[in-house]
Amino acid sequence: FKPSPFFDAGIKPVPDSLALLHLRRDQLEPLTLHSSAEHADGYAEGAVKNTRFGSFPHSTLLESQWGRQVRASKVDTGSRGRKKRKLDEAVSEASDSQALKTAEQAGTGFVHLLPPTPETWTISLPHRTQVVYNPDYSYVLQRLQVRPGQTILEAGGGSGSFTHAAARAVFNGYPTQTQPRFGKVCTFEYHEPRAENLKKELEEHGLDSIVRVTHRDVYEDGFLIHQPDAPQQSPDANAVFLDLPAPWMALRNLTRHRLSSETARIVADSSSAAGQASPDAEKDTSDSTQPSANTEEQDTSRPFVSPLDPNSPIHLCTFSPCIEQVIATVAAMRRLGWTEIDMVEVMHKRIDVRRERVGLHEEGLRGVNATAATVDEAVGRLREVEGKFKEWHQVSKAKSQAVQNGTAEDAHLPHDNFSSKQARLDRIKKELGARKIFSEGRLVHRTEPDIKTHTSYLVFAVLPADWSEEQEQACRAKWPVHG
Ligand code: SAM
């Protein structure tokens, strides 16, 4: 198996693997680094990545260690290279030509080279759908109690954001020839191009031996593994994550036993019983009145196979943007024997904490009290204020001298109200006395409004393992009850 850089990226990138260019905060660009000439596009240096912070030959990036800052290079652009560069710059998302110009003129453009992780991939991945972001998936995976070696079912796969995080959570080494597996993450997606794209991406990321992508409508066809010329097999899942418009429709296929047609019908009707849960019309085409693959109405000559691990409790989470969907899902969960049902909304807020200077709002000193980026800058501005203070002092002295000599008119000194000026000067003096506070700044914090996240309700539930009479007897035999 090709090792995945998501699990072990080494200390630097290897040719033909994924890297992330960190352009600035929350802005990352995925890039496959090539050493071969075939991606050179007319550049003498081989393949080159053009960004608005300058040009970066892949060869330079391949030599750099993860986490390092890489400075932009002057590249030898032949005519094809120039064309490509223009094109790259044009398509560079949110292109900022001023930043590019400044970076180029100063020769100081740089990026940081980061290894791929589910977090960096989530920020930079090509969006095919809404995605689950890190604040939600880190919480979900923790609540699902997924551990290395377990199996998780996911539907729908969408853009693969959750899939990458799930793959890392269950990764327990690569499967061997003698230990064939279906993949520790089984993800289902009914939109064929999305399923194909996800499959391709996972192959490129070396995750295809851990994740199995199936193009399927899970409402109708459930979660079993179909192998050519073999009976359907159970993935023996320990945990389930459903990011679907109508999770209750998938729940009827996540049972330990075949459902009676009556229960299947009631569960399928959960949406109407709950009011008007309206699954996103674009995504959900299934007809809730259809029986699923998991009912008595199906061919009962085939043995029932549950997709769930018979020996462990199953932890489940559904992700739904509206409360009507939650109500329908919870109604179905109750009917199907799920316990510990619990809804959570993750309200992630990023707090911006910084020091702000105490302002000197005197006329003539405006602009001086803009927030200082560094202590040096703050001290520089303080000196500027002090200079102005001295200047005012000299003017005041000259003015009072001129008044005494009766030559104020000739001296062309400022005619404004002397006493109010004096009062202002006194205030400035007082503020300058607070010099320490001024240079360090006052600590302030604000909520950042622009955090990328897609808020949804998370419904958690647990399906207990079956407990048979044989298990009870075995237990009693092992731990006899005395007395
Ligand atoms: N969790 C994904 C991520 O983090 O990238 C995003 C999932 S997206 C919001 C929902 C996906 O569910 C869509 O891609 C849609 O095609 C898929 N879907 C909807 N109904 C489905 C069904 N019945 N079976 C399988 N997939 C389905």
Q: How much is the pLDDT for 174?
A: 77
CA 302 to ligand 1 center in whole angstroms: 29
Q: How much is the pLDDT for 302?
A: 75
Say whether 343 sits in a helix, a strand or coil: strand
Which amino acid is it at 306?
S
Q: How much is the pLDDT for 280?
A: 45
Nearest to 14 by CA among 80, 63, 75, 72: 63
Which of 119, 124, 125, 129 best tests ligand 1's pocket when mutated (most atoms within 8 Å of CB)?
A: 129
Nearest to 342 by CA among 461, 464, 243, 238: 461
CA 409 to ligand 1 center in whole angstroms: 82
Q: How much is the pLDDT for 214?
A: 96
Say whether 355 sits in a helix, a strand or coil: strand
Instruction: Name the stretches of the chain with pLDDT < 70.
Output: 1, 37-44, 76-108, 177-183, 271-301, 357-378, 407-422, 425, 428-441, 449-454, 482-483
pTM of the model: 0.75
d(CA 90, CA 242): 38
Q: How much is the pLDDT for 409?
A: 57
User: Is the distance from the beta carbon of residue 43 to the nearest atom of ligand 1 less than 6 Å?
Assistant: no
User: For residue range 409-462, what is the model confidence (pLDDT) as tens digits?
Assistant: 555 555 455 566 667 767 766 666 655 555 566 777 777 765 556 679 999 999
The most distant pair of C-alpha atoms in the chain lies apart, rounded to whole Å, by 119
User: For residue range 324-345, what is the model confidence (pLDDT) as tens digits?
Assistant: 999 999 999 999 999 999 999 9
Q: How much is the pLDDT for 232?
A: 87
User: Is the distance from the beta carbon of residue 6 to the nearest atom of ligand 1 less than 6 Å?
Assistant: no
DSSP state of 126: P
d(CA 86, CA 88): 6
CA 215 to ligand 1 center in whole angstroms: 11
Contact 308, 224 (CB under 8 A): no
Core vs surface per residue 242-279: b (16+ CB within 10 A) or e? bbbbbbbbbbbbbbbebbeeebbbbbbbbbeebeebeb
Q: How much is the pLDDT for 351?
A: 83
Q: How much is the pLDDT for 43?
A: 67
Residue nearest to atom 24 of ligand 1 (CA): 217
Q: How much is the pLDDT for 360?
A: 47
CA 192 to ligand 1 center in whole angstroms: 11
DSSP state of 279: -
User: Is the distance from the beta carbon of residue 312 to the nearest atom of ligand 1 less than 6 Å?
Assistant: no
**Nearest atom of ligand 1 to the alpha carbon of 250:** 23
Which of 244, 290, 325 best tests ligand 1's pocket when mutated (most atoms within 8 Å of CB)?
A: 244
Q: How much is the pLDDT for 365?
A: 44
Q: How much is the pLDDT for 434?
A: 55
d(CA 152, CA 235): 9
E-strand spans in 166-231? 185-189, 211-215
User: Is the distance from the beta carbon of residue 284 to the nearest atom of ligand 1 less than 6 Å?
Assistant: yes
